[in-house]
């Protein structure tokens, strides 16, 4: 017999939230995100033979975090990120904030998965797409691209 209590639980896609340190009044309902890609790179090594071997790189490089989140009714989440970007564009010392993406199961609130990104800053945010011609208007959402340390 299989003990299902020890099996990993699958998290539902509608139970992901994003919070940004300093924006405690805002919690973003995450619709989509992907863990950033990581690369080590390589360097061709000089060789007298026809085969040029590569050696491993010495620095990890991380892709930006991409998150699609729903908008609140007053667009406060969008405006918060917009103002953060505006502040950083005018400063020699950008404002960095920690971001936490949390997955939770309402049936097991004690079980959570938290992914924390340190010293993050937004580099792009899309405006929401709205199309009145669609029969069923979906909730408005935006894609954010975020870099971090």
Distance CA 91, CA 81 (A): 16
Q: Which of 146, 144, 100 is nearest to 121 (CA)?
A: 146
Q: What is the mean pLDDT of residues 16-29?
A: 89
Per DSSP (E only), the strands in the chain are 16-20, 28-34, 38-39, 42-44, 54-56, 61-62, 65-70, 97-105, 108-125, 141-147
Q: How far apart are alpha carbons 47 and 54 in whole angstroms?
A: 10
Q: Residue 69: which of 140, 147, 129 has the closest Cα? A: 140
Tell me the Ramachandran region of residue 59: left when phi exceeds 0, alpha when psi lies from -120 to 50, beta otherwise.
beta
Report the half-sphere exposure of 72 (CA within 13 A, side-chain side): 12
What is residue 138's predicted lDDT score, i.e. its pLDDT? 67
What is the pTM (predicted TM-score) of this model? 0.74
pLDDT level of residue 136 (50, 70, 90 thresholds)? low
pLDDT tens by residue, 56-96:
878 888 899 999 998 888 888 899 999 999 999 999 999 99
């Amino acid at each position: 017999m299989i003990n299902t209590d020890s099996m990993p639980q699958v998290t539902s896609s509608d139970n992901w939230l994003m919070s940004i340190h300093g924006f405690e009044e805002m919690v973003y309902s995450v619709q989509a995100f992907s863990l950033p890609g990581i690369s080590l790179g390589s360097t061709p090594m000089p060789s007298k033979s026809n085969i040029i071997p590569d050696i491993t790189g010495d620095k990890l490089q991380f892709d930006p975090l991409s998150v699609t989140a729903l908008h609140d009714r007053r667009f406060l989440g969008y405006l918060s990120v917009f103002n953060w970007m505006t502040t950083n564009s005018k400063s020699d010392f950008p404002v960095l904030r920690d971001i936490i993406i949390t997955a939770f199961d309402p049936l097991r609130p004690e079980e959570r998965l938290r992914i924390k990104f340190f010293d993050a800053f937004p580099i792009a945010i899309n405006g929401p797409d709205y199309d009145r011609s669609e029969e069923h208007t979906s909730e408005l959402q935006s894609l954010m691209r975020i870099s971090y340390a």
